């Protein structure tokens, strides 16, 4: 069974029979986990991209890709997992990551 990708950064993991979320940044593949719901996998990719590149996709490098949707809060997702994976990858200083998280939360509240 093949599943065409509907969301950027999401692919079907045949062996696990789940949707895999991840993308490549600076020659590093950032793996964000496997999920039963492709929409949650897409949200994971978007959340990580917003944390890494900021809230303004128009300013992102063309190779980054566009987000699957606007910043939004998802109560059904443990965002701490994605935050931890982004922090563990060491792609941003902790203070920048903290600032971007605050900006993300503020945009979701308004």
Q: Does a structural domain hold residue 25?
A: yes
Q: Does a structural domain hold residue 3?
A: no
- What would the pLDDT profile of 15-65 be if each residue is shown by its tens digit? 878 999 999 888 888 999 999 989 999 999 999 999 999 999 988 888 788
Q: Does a structural domain hold residue 4?
A: no
Q: Does a structural domain hold residue 2?
A: no
CB 43 within 8 A of CB 22: no
Distances (CA, A) of 32 to 9, 40, 70, 77: 10, 11, 19, 12
pTM of the predicted structure, to 2 decimals: 0.89
Q: Does a structural domain hold residue 55?
A: yes
Q: Does a structural domain hold residue 73?
A: yes
Total tally of structural domains belonging to the chain: 1
What is the span of the domain harbouring residue 51?
Answer: 10-109
């Amino acid at each position: 069974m093949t599943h065409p990708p509907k969301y950027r950064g999401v692919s079907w993991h045949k062996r696990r029979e789940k949707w895999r979320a991840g993308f490549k940044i600076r020659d590093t593949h950032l793996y964000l986990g496997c999920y039963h719901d492709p929409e949650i996998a897409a949200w994971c990719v978007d959340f990580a991209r917003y944390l890494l590149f900021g809230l303004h996709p128009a300013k992102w490098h063309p190779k980054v890709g566009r987000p699957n949707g606007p910043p939004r809060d998802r109560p059904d997702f443990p965002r701490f997992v994605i935050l931890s994976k982004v922090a563990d990858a060491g792609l941003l200083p902790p203070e920048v990551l903290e600032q971007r998280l605050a900006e993300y939360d503020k945009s979701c509240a308004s």
